[in-house]
Structure 1
């Protein structure tokens, strides 16, 4: 454990900052940002460009409010249709319900421009902190987060450079550990089933870690099947059927999440494929809902509720201490569960461990 990085001195941006950056008066800047008054298109574009580059967000709360902050914590996640994120929200709420702070949730839809829009609206109400999924954001979004003058916690991913604090796991490491476990179990002809979504950076990093670890053992992915849109049991069945019809001699299928892995498992059971003897399976996320299946898919639990709790605690501590940020890094190690779909259980047993560095 190491001491947190000292918070960088930050202050909220003002109209004067935008005025100086754009070369026009504060009154003109105010008219442009309020979309009122007679301002030329050229001047308007100049002001808006300067505001975006700086990360300036207008203040929507009453000017007489002494603190110029409200007891809200903005939380931005990609979706509520994936069961990972409601559990993160549960962890956040478990901590904040014992404080004056109240979480407010927005959805980014894995779309950077939409994330910018949601972030802009949330910051305009001057929340006491922000919790946001992932480390990859547009330059405009990162500028807004840096300029907000409030604690920011990016969650779920450690593979990148955070704006302020970060809580999560290394997805590259998680993918590599899964690959090593599969290889140790003796599987060699491996297929991958995952998402086409280019903005799902965490899934991409797991795939990079997975293929990199296999390559170091002289193993390559034999075939792949990708999908777009929401994941589910039907999607997993469909993808598994397509992949096995195309490449029937595969001996292991690695899925990017547990839901499609469960669909693949049901397809194998229905068609009489011996799991794990003839074909091994593994997913990702450790979703408890799947515990009722005839066999439990091998998986990794990323400790999403704990991630939510740790992130909320950082925000609560900052609010109590009057800090604009902590620069804290909380690294959690996912818990491996061999389930019933590997020929042999890994020797390390996936012992729980939390590294707070």
Structure 2
């Protein structure tokens, strides 16, 4: 996109793409509808301009072309991760009292997939967008900025939002967990989590965690990472591997509760004293795990409240009772459970 071009506050049109690409509106239309005989060079020029501008075709035809539908695009990275169904419940609780309806898209933590989902959802002109995280591709950010509708990024406040944001500081959550672990006498600490280039929030917690440990003169003794969905099985396997390498570890910090629960079950099966010999903590405060033999120490990120607040912002911006640019940072709450001993 040309350096001197500014995105309009109104929805983008074929004319904007025509001006940016230097191609007629009719040709732009043919390219974007994949109709007619257009040279490959012209097609690339038009698609490049449309992507740079963040232009998304309007699939609402005829007289409705300038309207919005009563849909809210909710874009999350996973449905298998137990965190996001709770967020969706919070969103639904609020939107059920309005004419708005949530429609869910899943990105699998992939920027390319997020671009595709956004493109398709925005083409139906929803009334707002709620999406997880603050990290997006340039193309996704351009589409969101050009959409002319309220956008709420959720789960994370460590960064600059496109519009409104609701979540917690994951760096703060990591720091607070590290301080609690050190305060209660643990020194040989291992970390187990997802491969963090795909999970930005886990990476930020890890950064906050290691930063707080460093201030106490402590380094992570060992680390173990996995890819794929969180599961009890992965937690068991990872715990076994890290303790085989570093049997002197006295605390294991897991990036989420599900793998933490797998680790707890493995240790109890081996007759290891938790939290006396090895302490454990996870993240998310998943209520389903309350039935474990011991209640896992964790940190509640307020998932349902995040969903409610995000939906409240969308509803308020839609009916004119709120303006965009809202920022709501919730406080993560440490839950000691029975796997983090207290002096």
Say how many residue pairs are matched: 337
Q: Is the 8 A contact 2:58 2:65 kept in 1?
A: no
**Structure 2: gaps of 5 or more residues:** 1-6
Taking the aligned partners of 1:125 and 1:180, their CA distance within structure 2 comes to: 47
Q: Is the 8 A contact 2:166 2:329 kept in 1?
A: yes
Structure 1, 103-112 or 336-345: larger mean CA deviation: 336-345
- Partner of 1:326 in structure 2? 324
- Partner of 2:101 in structure 1? 102
Q: Which secondary structure state, in structure 2, belongs to the residue aligned with residue 237 of structure 1?
A: helix
- Partner of 2:241 in structure 1? 242
| Offset from partner CA, 1:43-85 (integer Å, 9 cap, x none) | 1100100000000000001221275110000000001001100
| Offset from partner CA, 1:324-349 (integer Å, 9 cap, x none) | x610100001111000011207xxxx
Q: CA deviation at 1:9?
A: 7.8
CA gap 1:9/1:181 in 2 versus in 1, 3 angstroms: farther
Higher relative contact order (CA 8 A, sep 6+): 1
TM-score norm. by structure 1 comes to: 0.92
Taking the aligned partners of 1:57 and 1:66, their CA distance within structure 2 comes to: 13
- Partner of 2:301 in structure 1? 302
- Partner of 1:266 in structure 2? 265
- Partner of 1:173 in structure 2? 172
Taking the aligned partners of 1:68 and 1:25, their CA distance within structure 2 comes to: 25
- Partner of 1:141 in structure 2? 140
**Structure 1: gaps of 5 or more residues:** 1-7, 346-357
Q: CA deviation at 1:32?
A: 0.8
1:290 aligns with 2:325: no
Taking the aligned partners of 2:159 and 2:82, their CA distance within structure 1 comes to: 24
Taking the aligned partners of 1:73 and 1:163, their CA distance within structure 2 comes to: 17
Q: Is the 8 A contact 2:128 2:314 kept in 1?
A: yes
Q: Which secondary structure state, in structure 2, belongs to the residue aligned with residue 300 of structure 1?
A: strand
- Partner of 1:88 in structure 2? 87
Taking the aligned partners of 1:280 and 1:213, their CA distance within structure 2 comes to: 18
Taking the aligned partners of 1:196 and 1:304, their CA distance within structure 2 comes to: 22
Q: Is the 8 A contact 2:196 2:203 kept in 1?
A: no
Q: Is the 8 A contact 2:8 2:146 kept in 1?
A: no
Taking the aligned partners of 1:57 and 1:265, their CA distance within structure 2 comes to: 48
What's the C-alpha RMSD, in Å, of the aligned pairs? Answer: 1.4
Taking the aligned partners of 2:235 and 2:22, their CA distance within structure 1 comes to: 56
- Partner of 1:44 in structure 2? 43
Runs of 4+ in 1 over 4 A off after TM superposition: none
Q: Which secondary structure state, in structure 2, belongs to the residue aligned with residue 45 of structure 1?
A: helix
1:193 aligns with 2:192: yes
- Partner of 2:224 in structure 1? 225
Q: CA deviation at 1:197?
A: 4.6
TM-score norm. by structure 2 comes to: 0.96
1:338 aligns with 2:329: no
Structure 1, 134-143 or 334-343: larger mean CA deviation: 334-343
1:35 aligns with 2:64: no
Q: Is the 8 A contact 1:55 1:146 kept in 2?
A: yes
Q: CA deviation at 1:209?
A: 0.5
Q: Is the 8 A contact 2:281 2:298 kept in 1?
A: yes
Q: CA deviation at 1:246?
A: 1.1
Taking the aligned partners of 2:177 and 2:337, their CA distance within structure 1 comes to: 13
Q: Is the 8 A contact 1:179 1:214 kept in 2?
A: yes
Q: Which secondary structure state, in structure 2, belongs to the residue aligned with residue 155 of structure 1?
A: strand
- Partner of 1:113 in structure 2? 112
CA gap 1:9/1:22 in 2 versus in 1, 3 angstroms: closer
| Offset from partner CA, 1:142-184 (integer Å, 9 cap, x none) | 0000000000000000011110000000001100110011010
Q: CA deviation at 1:242?
A: 0.9
Taking the aligned partners of 1:167 and 1:177, their CA distance within structure 2 comes to: 20
